[in-house]
């Protein structure tokens, strides 16, 4: 079977997720826009964030924030899910300036990382759009993606206050390629378009119940070959066997796994969230060892993040990847190779030098160049029939 450009790009990114990056100036631009236009920035501890709310908001707003925050915290301490009614009040309440920016600053590292990742996936995989943002809240991702890619983006959220905020923000920023709709995703009142979407993503808004129906609704919103991006605590909160079954039932095949994250502040230090990319009508099932391959490349990132000259706000996976030299990225993406030499003991010379690409399809009739034939004086001095990885 002949691989398409999409397939090749997907396989390359799966082998080496560090390829899912943007130029450093783009990564820094997204960070700047979050700060300048949304007030989302690295603020430090929860005490500092609350002090900022007290300083920038009215006393009534600060008091209500503290009350709602404490109510949610009590459920989490008891190991209980936060009731939908309380979450609804919370997300409705925080959809106002300047509270929106300060509250979302707690998730700044993830918000920025997802923006970079989604734009990078669109560019690398050649996604044509339109794009669907499920659980968009006040629209930061939808508006950033629309501006960075030029594609049409629809943001969907259950909070009417958040959708109204996002719509007004689009007007104030002059972004005409993003629009927003209020309602339950998958319900009849959400008009997601007749022709389907080239990509749908859901960041940190994955449901706790009805997950099979949710995945089916995501798949139904996509065109054939469309890309689905899920971001959340998939490795700890989703059962791999059930996820594999639900994805297969929805005709969502495996794309790749990744993660976003980095330094979040002194309260929680370094944290990450899982990323799962699925493809509509792709036949490849999800791996059975899915949980084992999340966070597989954090070793190199930790060395970068612990370096004394790395600014705190750039101790993120997104910044780290953008700073990796392109030639190093290319080498990381190379498939494993097996080098073999056939040596004549009688004539004391190498007869054949062969480099095998273990990640490629073997040609039907290898040419002399593909066999790696070279002059004797250029061949390495190795033992007879030696083979090394």
| Cα–Cα distance list, 365 to 17, 350, 359 (Å) | 33, 22, 18
* pLDDT over 70 at 356, yes or no: no
Asked whether the bond before 45 is cis by omega within 30 degrees of 0, the reply is: no
Measure the CA–CA gap between 236 and 273, rounded to whole angstroms: 10
Sign of CA dihedral 306, 310, 311, 316: negative
| Rounded mean pLDDT, 19-29 | 96
The 8-class DSSP code of residue 58 comes to: -
- Strand segments, DSSP code E, in the chain are 131-134, 153-157, 178-182, 197-203, 222-232, 252-263, 270-280, 337-344, 349-357, 387-388
Compare 183 and 201 and report the one with higher pLDDT. Answer: 201
Which residue has tokens 């502040």? 265
108 pLDDT tier (thresholds 50, 70, 90):
very high
Measure the CA–CA gap between 147 and 25, rounded to whole angstroms: 15
315 pLDDT tier (thresholds 50, 70, 90):
very high
Please report, for the chain, how many H helices and E strands are present, in that order: 16, 10
What lies within 8 Å, CB to CB, of 296 at 6+ separation is: none
289 pLDDT tier (thresholds 50, 70, 90):
confident
Q: Domain-by-domain residue ranges, the chain?
A: 5-40+105-331, 46-104, 337-388
Q: Give the tokens for residue 106.
A: 């707690």
Measure the CA–CA gap between 27 and 98, rounded to whole angstroms: 24
* pLDDT over 60 at 387, yes or no: no
Q: Give the tokens for residue 386.
A: 């030696």
pLDDT tens for residues 204-259? Answer: 899 888 999 999 999 999 999 999 999 999 988 999 999 999 999 999 999 999 99
Domain 5-40+105-331 has CATH 1.10.630.10: no
What's the whole-number average pLDDT of the chain? 84
Measure the CA–CA gap between 193 and 115, rounded to whole angstroms: 23
For the chain, state the CA radius of gyration: 24
What lies within 8 Å, CB to CB, of 289 at 6+ separation is: none
| Rounded mean pLDDT, 94-104 | 96
335 pLDDT tier (thresholds 50, 70, 90):
very low
Which residue has tokens 């004797």? 376
């Amino acid at each position: 079977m002949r691989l398409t450009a999409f397939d090749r790009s997907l396989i390359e990114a799966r082998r080496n997720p560090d390829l899912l990056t943007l130029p450093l100036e783009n990564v820094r631009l997204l960070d700047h826009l979050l700060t300048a236009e949304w007030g989302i920035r690295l603020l430090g501890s929860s005490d500092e964030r609350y002090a900022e709310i007290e300083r920038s908001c009215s006393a009534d707003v600060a008091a209500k924030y503290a009350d709602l925050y404490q109510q949610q915290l009590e459920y989490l301490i008891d190991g209980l899910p936060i009731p939908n009614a309380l979450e609804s009040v919370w997300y409705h309440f925080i959809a106002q300036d300047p509270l929106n920016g300060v509250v979302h600053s707690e998730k700044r590292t993830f918000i920025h990382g997802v923006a970079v990742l989604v734009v990078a996936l669109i560019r690398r995989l050649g996604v044509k759009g339109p794009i669907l943002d499920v659980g968009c809240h006040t629209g930061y991702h939808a508006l950033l993606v629309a501006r960075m890619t030029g594609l049409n983006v629809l943001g969907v959220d259950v909070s009417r206050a958040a959708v109204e905020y996002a719509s007004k923000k689009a007007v104030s920023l002059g972004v005409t390629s993003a629009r927003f709709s209020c309602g339950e995703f998958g319900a009849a009142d959400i008009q997601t378009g007749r022709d389907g979407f080239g990509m749908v993503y859901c960041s940190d808004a994955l449901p706790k119940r009805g997950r099979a129906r949710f995945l089916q609704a995501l798949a139904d919103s996509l065109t054939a070959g469309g890309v689905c991006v899920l971001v959340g605590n998939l490795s700890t909160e989703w059962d791999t066997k059930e996820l594999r079954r639900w994805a297969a039932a929805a005709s969502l095949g495996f794309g790749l796994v990744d993660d976003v994250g980095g330094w979040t502040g002194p309260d929680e230090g370094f944290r990450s969230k899982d990323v799962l990319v699925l493809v509509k009508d792709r036949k490849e099932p999800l791996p059975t060892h899915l949980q084992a391959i999340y966070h597989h490349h954090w070793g190199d990132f930790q060395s970068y993040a612990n370096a004394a000259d790395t600014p705190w706000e750039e101790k993120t996976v997104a910044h780290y990847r953008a700073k990796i030299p392109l030639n190093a990225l290319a080498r990381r993406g190379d498939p494993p190779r097996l080098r073999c030499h056939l040596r004549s003991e009688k004539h004391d010379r190498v007869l054949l030098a062969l480099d095998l690409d273990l990640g490629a399809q073997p040609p039907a009739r290898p040419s002399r160049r593909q066999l790696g034939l070279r002059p004797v004086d250029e061949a390495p001095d190795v033992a007879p029939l030696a083979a090394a990885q």
